[in-house]
Amino acid sequence: MSSGEEILARLEEDGRILLFIDESGTSEKPLPELEKDFMVYCGVEFYSESYSNICKRMNDKLSSISSDVQEFHATEIVNPKKKSPWYKASCEERIDSLLLLSELVDKYCTIAPYCYISKEQYNLLVAGTLAEKLTHKEGLKKVFFNSVLSINRIKNKKYAVIFDSEKKLDNEIKIQSVSLERDLLYEDGIILASSITLPGLQLADYAVYILNRIHHSAHRIKTGKRNIFDEVIIESANILKPKYMDLLKK
């Protein structure tokens, strides 16, 4: 039986499609323009042949900042708290890091599929179409995974689906079994892993962060409270717009 480390190392083998996934959202109603209690699942898809170069560029960048900074985490880069290793990084280093993430997604990502819906919209539009009663989060996750797995059927390549685990795994992985398209999945299921071990998950974190924060940055700009990071987020959203695929409109 392969170890988790071996399974992750083989992601770079030729002939695979890699889909790294993360989630985000905003509880209640933080902005007038937003529906309250919205969630978003987003993935970034790459061909495995490009993954080693992606990893190298991200690791090289981290090494140039500080030995304390172990991963790219968009929220910490933009708004680092005092205990965050990003707190000591300069503004220029943080901006350069965001621009690198945008460049890598723009250059190597084939598509960035996402599902984005508020709790009220979910109850009105989606919940009644599901065969089982699921919460807003459970239902959106099911719709997202079923959609991306169905889309992959026509690509006829082994598909590795890696999701950022909600629970700390400490360099371990878990494999969640699925019933749909299992024959096409690497390791026959969805791999749950920690983002600190996988640059691909850090790019998924960035892609989902942009989808979430674009509304906040637009609001700050509209109200005259813009800062340099709002500018970077708006610029990145424009660059990555062709990559995003709204699965609920398919």
- At residue 154, the pLDDT reads 67
- At residue 131, the pLDDT reads 72
Tell me how far apart the alpha carbons of residues 89 and 69 are, in angstroms, rounded to a whole number: 9
> 115 - beta bridge partners?
41
- At residue 188, the pLDDT reads 86
Calculate the CA 157 to chain-centre distance. Answer: 21
- At residue 31, the pLDDT reads 67
Q: Side chain identity at 162, as an amino acid letter?
A: I
Print the domain residue range for 200: 4-249
- At residue 170, the pLDDT reads 66
Helices (H), 86-198: 91-108, 119-125, 136-152
Instruction: Report the 10 Å Cβ neighbour count for 227.
Output: 13
State the total domains in the chain. Answer: 1
pLDDT along the chain (250 residues), means of 10: 80 92 80 76 96 96 89 94 93 96 97 89 78 82 86 77 81 79 83 92 97 83 84 92 88
Separation in Å, CA 206 to CA 23, 225, 233, 239: 10, 23, 10, 13
CATH number of the domain that residue 117 is part of: 3.30.420
